[in-house]
Amino acid sequence: MKKYHLYRWLLFVLILLTSKIYAQQPPEVFKNPILSGFYPDPSICRVDDTYYMVNSSFEWYPGLPIHKSKDLVNWEKIGHGLCRPDQIKYKDGLNNSAGIFAPTIRYHKGTFYIITTMVGQQGNFIITAKNPEGPWSAPMWIKDAPGIDPSLFWDDDGRCYYTGAGIIDGTKKEWPGKNGVWMQEIDPDTGVLLGEKKQLTYGHASNARWAEGPHIYKINNEYLLLIGEGGTGEFHAVTVFNSKKLWGPYIPNHTNPVMTHRHLAKTYPIIQTGHADLVQTQNGNWWSVMLAKRLTKNYVTLARETFLAKVIMTQQESGVTPIFNPGIGLLQLEQKRPNLPWTPVPKLKERDEFQNKTLGLEWNFLRSPREQWYTLKDGELEIKLRPETVNELVNPSYIAQRTRNFSYQSTTKLSFKTKKENEKAGLAIYRKTGNNYQLLKTKDKIVLIKTYQKVLNGFFEPELIASIPYSKNNVVLGAKVDELDVQFLYGENETDLKPIGAIQDYTIVSDEVAQKYNGVYVGMYATSSGKTSKKSAKFEWFDYKPSN
């Protein structure tokens, strides 16, 4: 009998161990995008068995978000390239979707380099670091470097070359949308351009539009130039050019475009693919990161996201030719993952209770703060009321994070009291100065405000959608987004939230309506509406919960 019970016990242990091992088996596939929400213009590099990626950030600060991964699928944010006031200032007046464009990250002999453009201010610059988590150097501004989207390439002899998007030979107006890629040697440690500039291409065809985002690679003793074309819209594409010599000529590959969804319009769930970068794994395999957009009910509400595609390098008549997602040729929402050790990373917390001394890496500001207008103390985030508003090209008292899902609910607990009509605090969903929602506590009300800019550069006026009397100091404010609808909520506690106003149109922050390069954010907001104030608003916690 004892032996029987021993057998049963051993069988039970074996089942438990088998179940545990089975549960820990890594998945065979991964899901795109690998970075959800506003993460456009990805650039990637590998150091040993670790991958690093950087993205555009436009007018949002800190700028240049940096992620790392061991498996190309699970990415952990480790810092920002621009996160100190002494590095760079995003000045008031910096327009919607101006700021930090299309960075490139590279590693050479113990140093990480990020080269990028500050549109609306000083142009192109390089920052460096020994550790990608930082600290990153002050910008080295590059003189006489016209255009955008710079990249760095080191040849076998150790010399470094700058490639950028622009026309340097005076032929820009030859056809509508004509742009090109030019190259010049550079000292990457000083930012000084050396020697002569040379125009490498204007695009893969005689009427190609908006050649940009260039990267050069040396593969099989051949130079491969990869660029984005067609503009970052419905005609976006990736094209390549081949050359036996560094300085060219760079001949358009006959397979171009090597990646595009332009021929599918909105008949496919992923659209507007382009602006790619390539990386070779430690196993010798090739993968590409690129931007694309996902549709929900025929709208784009998450802006440009980062996707991953398998690449094989073939040798064809044109030379080295990358084949994206062989046998398919399109980005996939799900596909077989890279042959790399599965390495999960910590998930973002749904609730931030502000227990740390500094804000988490997911939090951003509009343009760079000129002063410290918020504090973290005793488990609360205290935000000063300042004259600036989210409807101006300034740095308002707004702390927000990227939206990452088609459907989600965000809530926050606010403590705020005022006797003045101009003083307000609460929750805001923001795409740009002319396209946002604000759910705010005022002197004696909860108000819902909508700002809807119907056409680009058109006049806009904030509109009061709903107003409900409310006299208590504490309130929970929320927004429940269901694809193209958003219902705003309020209540004394999070278990008893009531709707305020009717269901609202979430498409006002979509690409189709807002028409800008940046993405959608949700966060905490306080303002004194053009007047000085000594007041502050206290936030006990903030929730972001995906619904899909």
Work out the number of other CB atoms within 10 angstroms of the CB of residue 391: 22
**pLDDT per position as a tens digit, 446-465:** 999 999 987 666 667 899 99
Give mean pLDDT, residues 459-484. 94
Give mean pLDDT, residues 406-425. 97
**pLDDT per position as a tens digit, 171-183:** 888 888 899 999 9
**Quick one: pLDDT band at residue 338, thresholds 50, 70, 90?**
very high
The answer on pLDDT for 51 being more than 90 is yes
Residues annotated as part of the active site: 41, 212
The answer on pLDDT for 319 being more than 50 is yes
Residues paired with 31 in a beta bridge: 334
The answer on pLDDT for 37 being more than 70 is yes
User: Rounded to an integer, what distance in angstroms lies between the CA atom of residue 274 and that of residue 260?
Assistant: 7
Give mean pLDDT, residues 236-240. 97
Within the chain, which residue ranges are assigned CATH 2.115.10.20?
42-267
> What pLDDT, on the 0 to 100 scale, is given for residue 548?
74
> What pLDDT, on the 0 to 100 scale, is given for residue 456?
63
> What pLDDT, on the 0 to 100 scale, is given for residue 81?
98
Give mean pLDDT, residues 321-347. 97
pTM: 0.93
Percent of the chain at pLDDT > 70 equals 95
Residues paired with 106 in a beta bridge: 113
Within the chain, which residue ranges are assigned CATH 2.60.120.200?
351-546
> What pLDDT, on the 0 to 100 scale, is given for residue 213?
96
Mean pLDDT of the chain: 94
User: Rounded to an integer, what distance in angstroms lies between the CA atom of residue 441 and that of residue 446?
Assistant: 5
CATH class of 351-546: mainly beta
257 contact partners, CB below 8 Å, separation of at least 6 = 204, 229, 237, 238, 239
> What pLDDT, on the 0 to 100 scale, is given for residue 21?
38
377 contact partners, CB below 8 Å, separation of at least 6 = none
Q: Does domain 42-267 have CATH number 2.115.10.20?
A: yes
User: Rounded to an integer, what distance in angstroms lies between the CA atom of residue 247 and that of residue 252?
Assistant: 14
Give mean pLDDT, residues 246-255. 97
Give mean pLDDT, residues 415-438. 97
Among the residue ranges 3-7, 29-33, 278-282, the one predicted with the least confidence is 3-7
